[in-house]
Amino acid sequence: MNHLVSMRQVGKDDILDLIDLAEKIETGKVHPDLSGRLGALLFFEPSTRTFFSFDTAIKRLKGRSLAMSGSGTTSVKKGETLADTLMTISQYADFIVMRHKIEGAAQFASEILDIPVINAGDGTNQHPTQAMLDLYSIYKTQGTLENLKIAMIGDLRLGRTVHSLAQALTDFNPTFYFASPRHLQMPKHIKDELQNKHIKFEEIEDIKPVIPELDIMYVTRIQKERFAVLEDYEKVKNAYIIDNQMLEDVKGNFKLLHPLPRVNEIKPEVDSNPHAYYFQQAKNGVVMRQAIISKIMKLV
């Protein structure tokens, strides 16, 4: 693994390897050392949370970071191409973590640069480190990735997180329940892929009946910024709201995940519910990113 651009390049063994490494880092069994190395955080599209998570991961590994946030690098404003910006930064840094609103931007970077590239989100396309931290969270709470019953709720059409996660889980014999407003359903190409791989999945309207069956419920935000018309957003934003009452009959191992930020998909009262796991999930993100950086930079 020289780059991490897409979950499509991460096979079942890679997933289990990264989870194993993350676990060892978290429990202090290994201490990958990034000291003396510089990671450039190139966030052409700002994302405070993902930025912070990567910056934390680099610093926890004793590395150092160069931070660029906002589309407005002055060189870009002066008319520089993305290729030139990347080529220049690659003279300074030892690896690049990159977020860009254009799909394929990270792939492009990985092709022209001699240093490792980690995709921190390219438009609606891929966000592989988010998928990996979700997998790590599932593994940590369930002890396995195999044979789990997983509901995905909210915006399943535009949320790249659920796409990557669904695809990554296909190697582990999951059963999926997809619940979303009508216009935000899981895209056909994902459903086709699941069908081809004989993955069990159901599109449901009412999530309540399946809740007692679930191991994992993965809720996503209906992203206002992805709607062209505000009115359309207002219609669906409250379609699925999780509260404590809905979680009364869950299994003991059940966990509620959310990539955050949430708006109101999960009521604050749920935060203290022992089945709520989204803040720990954010913490797992740092550890998994430490593992990914360690692997990419050949520290282990």
Which residue stretch of 5-13, 14-22, 74-82, 154-162 sits at the interface with a copy of itself (rule: CB under 8 A)? 74-82
Residue 89 binds a copy of itself (CB under 8 A): yes
Query: Helix 128-142 crosses helix 160-169 at what angle (to 10 degrees)?
Result: 60
214, 176 in Cβ contact below 8 A? Answer: no
Judged by CB under 8 A, which of 2, 9, 47, 124 binds a copy of itself? 47
Active site (catalytic) residues: 49-50, 78, 99, 127
What is the Cβ-side half-sphere exposure of residue 140, based on CA atoms within 13 angstroms? Answer: 25
* Cβ neighbours around 103 below 10 Å, total: 13
Residue 263 binds a copy of itself (CB under 8 A): yes
Of 202, 167, 208, 170, the C-alpha closest to 185 is 202
As measured in angstroms, the least distance from the Cβ of 159 to a copy of itself is 13
Judged by CB under 8 A, which of 13, 27, 28, 79 binds a copy of itself? 79
Residue 161 binds a copy of itself (CB under 8 A): no
Q: What are phi and psi of 222, to 5 degrees?
A: -80, 110
Residue 9 binds a copy of itself (CB under 8 A): no
As measured in angstroms, the least distance from the Cβ of 77 to a copy of itself is 8
Output the furthest CA–CA distance in the chain (Å, rounded).
59
For 39, residues 6+ apart whose C-beta sits below 8 A from its C-beta are 54, 58, 63, 64, 65, 66, 93, 94, 95, 96, 97, 293
Residue 48 binds a copy of itself (CB under 8 A): yes
As measured in angstroms, the least distance from the Cβ of 86 to a copy of itself is 10
For residue 35, give the DSSP letter. Answer: T
Size of the site for a copy of itself (CB under 8 A): 50
Residue 285, judged by CB atoms within 10 A of its CB (0-12, 13-18, 19+), counts as buried
Query: Helix 128-142 crosses helix 12-26 at what angle (to 10 degrees)?
Result: 70
As measured in angstroms, the least distance from the Cβ of 208 to a copy of itself is 25
Q: Spell out a b/e string for 163-186, using b for 16 or more CB atoms within 10 Å of the CB, else e.
A: bbbbbbbbbbebbbbbbbbeebbb
Write the binding mask 211 to 230 for a copy of itself: x where contact by CB under 8 A, - elsewhere: ----------x-xxx-----
For residue 172, give the DSSP letter. Answer: G
Taken as a whole, the chain contains a residue count of 300
Residue 73 binds a copy of itself (CB under 8 A): yes
Residue 261 binds a copy of itself (CB under 8 A): yes
Residue 283 binds a copy of itself (CB under 8 A): yes
As measured in angstroms, the least distance from the Cβ of 41 to a copy of itself is 11
Residue 84 binds a copy of itself (CB under 8 A): yes
Which residue stretch of 8-16, 60-68, 115-123, 132-140 sits at the interface with a copy of itself (rule: CB under 8 A)? 60-68
Q: Which amino acid is at 188?
A: K
Residue 111 binds a copy of itself (CB under 8 A): no
Judged by CB under 8 A, which of 83, 111, 192, 249 binds a copy of itself? 83
Residue 282, judged by CB atoms within 10 A of its CB (0-12, 13-18, 19+), counts as middle
Which residue stretch of 9-17, 44-52, 146-154, 178-186 sits at the interface with a copy of itself (rule: CB under 8 A)? 44-52
Query: Which residues contact a copy of itself (rule: CB under 8 A)?
Result: 36, 38, 40, 46-49, 52-53, 55-56, 59-60, 62, 64, 66-68, 73-75, 78-81, 83-85, 87-89, 91-93, 221, 223-225, 260-263, 268, 271, 279-280, 282-283, 285-286
